[in-house]
């Protein structure tokens, strides 16, 4: 990949690899050393890309984007909103292409109700202080990026399928990072939360939240709490708060 397009952005340092296990793993290692704020790790291929809960994220060569951004948070940075920062950056880049992206809370981006991108946030702690936050992002560009149907827990798509033509990886990457940099100073604002909430998929629709224990919570999707948790209205009218981390969201059948 030609990364010249990124030169004008206010990034930290950049590391590019043709092939890696996982960009998040390299970013964690680098963040444990001396990676400056807004440093990035980019790879053309991931052989051991990770989703949440030890699920796999597929990134075959030349078909997708695998990117990890290293943040050095300030004391008052709302860490629980960093997944929203990744989601807003990817959806901003999709909107620039004329697409209609939605965020499947907490960490997936949908086009036409199919997953085109995923986000994996990992935090390095020094006791109670976050030393670094790694925002990993995987975006499918062509249909060759998609895992086989039997490996999917949700339908998948690519930018090319949604656009009807190829999307330029370097330009898309630039848009994602430009948006990420521009929105970071606003991360604690009400406008940030509103922009994030407006892009949620299934608003006012019945959804189910599947916990790791397989326990299912049903409710109508209302929006976001201040910390980025999901707000649902349960069948008996109570307001429920679903926290990020160990749950998967699906539309109700
Ligand atoms: P969930 O959808 O339950 O929130 P994750 O966000 O953790 O799951 O994403 C991991 C899952 O995404 C994998 O188990 C797999 O089904 C699916 N997946 C893996 N690679 C891709 C890809 N390139 N595009 C779309 N979906 C993928």
Please indicate, yes or no, whether residues 188 and 233 belong to a single structural domain of this protein. no
Please indicate, yes or no, whether residues 211 and 193 belong to a single structural domain of this protein. no
Q: Contact 29/196 with Cβ under 8 angstroms?
A: no
Test site for ligand 1: of 142, 154, 160, most ligand atoms within 8 A of the Cβ: 154
Please indicate, yes or no, whether residues 124 and 178 belong to a single structural domain of this protein. yes
Residue 151 belongs to what domain range? 4-198
Cβ(51) – ligand 1 distance below 6 Å: yes
At 253 the pLDDT is 72
Please indicate, yes or no, whether residues 76 and 194 belong to a single structural domain of this protein. yes
Please indicate, yes or no, whether residues 216 and 141 belong to a single structural domain of this protein. no
At 7 the pLDDT is 94
Please indicate, yes or no, whether residues 140 and 227 belong to a single structural domain of this protein. no
- CATH number where 188 lies: 3.30.930.10
With b meaning 16 or more CB within 10 Å and e meaning fewer, what string describes 159-188? bbbbeeeebebeebbbbbbbbbeebbeebe
Cβ(145) – ligand 1 distance below 6 Å: yes
Cβ(180) – ligand 1 distance below 6 Å: no
Please indicate, yes or no, whether residues 179 and 65 belong to a single structural domain of this protein. yes
At 89 the pLDDT is 98
What's the 116 CA to ligand 1 centre distance in angstroms?
A: 10
Q: What is the pLDDT along the chain (253 residues), one digit of tens a residue?
A: 889 999 999 999 999 999 999 999 999 999 999 999 999 999 999 999 999 888 999 999 999 999 999 999 999 999 999 999 999 999 999 999 999 999 999 999 999 999 999 999 999 999 989 999 999 999 999 999 999 999 898 999 999 999 999 999 999 999 999 999 999 999 999 999 999 999 999 999 999 999 988 899 999 999 999 999 999 999 999 999 999 876 889 998 7
35 Cβ contact partners less than 8 Å away, ≥ 6 residues apart:
12, 13, 27, 70, 132
At 244 the pLDDT is 81
Cβ(153) – ligand 1 distance below 6 Å: yes
Please indicate, yes or no, whether residues 178 and 213 belong to a single structural domain of this protein. no
SS3 231: strand
User: Which two three-digit tokens encode residue 36?
Assistant: 């400056």
Last residue of a domain, one of 160, 180, 198: 198
* Residue nearest atom 9 of ligand 1, based on CA coordinates: 51
At 212 the pLDDT is 85
Please indicate, yes or no, whether residues 154 and 232 belong to a single structural domain of this protein. no
What's the 201 CA to ligand 1 centre distance in angstroms?
A: 16
Domains of the chain: total = 2
What's the 155 CA to ligand 1 centre distance in angstroms?
A: 9
Cβ neighbours of 198 (radius 10 Å):
13
- CATH number where 237 lies: 2.30.30.100
- The owner of tokens 């990886």 is 169
Q: Is 150 left (phi over 0), alpha (psi -120 to 50) or beta?
A: alpha
Cβ(146) – ligand 1 distance below 6 Å: yes
Q: Contact 183/24 with Cβ under 8 angstroms?
A: no
What's the 146 CA to ligand 1 centre distance in angstroms?
A: 10
What's the 153 CA to ligand 1 centre distance in angstroms?
A: 7
User: DSSP strand E in 57-197: where?
Assistant: 64-71, 102-104, 108-111, 114-126, 129-140
Q: Closest Cα partner for 14 from 177, 168, 123, 138?
A: 177
At 69 the pLDDT is 98
Q: Contact 68/134 with Cβ under 8 angstroms?
A: yes
At 54 the pLDDT is 82
């Amino acid at each position: 990949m030609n990364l010249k397009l990124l030169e004008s952005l206010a990034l930290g340092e950049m590391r590019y690899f043709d092939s890696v296990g996982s960009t998040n793993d390299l970013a964690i290692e680098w963040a444990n050393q001396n990676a400056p704020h807004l440093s990035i790790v980019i790879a053309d291929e991931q052989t051991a890309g990770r989703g949440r809960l030890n699920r796999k994220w597929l990134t075959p060569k030349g078909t997708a984007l695998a990117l990890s951004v290293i943040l050095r948070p300030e004391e008052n940075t709302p860490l629980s909103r960093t997944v929203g920062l990744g989601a807003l950056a990817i959806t901003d880049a999709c909107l620039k292409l004329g697409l209609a992206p939605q965020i499947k809370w907490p960490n997936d981006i949908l086009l036409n109700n199919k997953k085109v991108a995923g986000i994996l946030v990992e935090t390095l702690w020094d006791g109670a202080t976050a030393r670094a936050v790694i925002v990993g992002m995987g975006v499918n560009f062509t249909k060759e990026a998609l895992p086989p149907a039997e490996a999917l827990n949700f339908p998948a798509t690519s930018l090319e399928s949604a656009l009807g033509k190829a999307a330029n990886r370097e330009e898309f990457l630039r848009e994602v990072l430009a948006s990420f940099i521009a929105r970071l100073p606003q991360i604690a604002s009400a406008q940030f939360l509103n922009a994030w909430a407006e892009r949620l998929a299934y608003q006012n629709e019945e959804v189910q939240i599947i916990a790791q224990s397989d326990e299912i919570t049903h409710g109508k999707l209302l929006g976001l709490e201040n910390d980025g948790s999901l707000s649902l209205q349960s069948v008996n009218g109570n307001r429920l708060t679903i926290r990020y981390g160990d749950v998967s969201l699906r539309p109700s059948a």
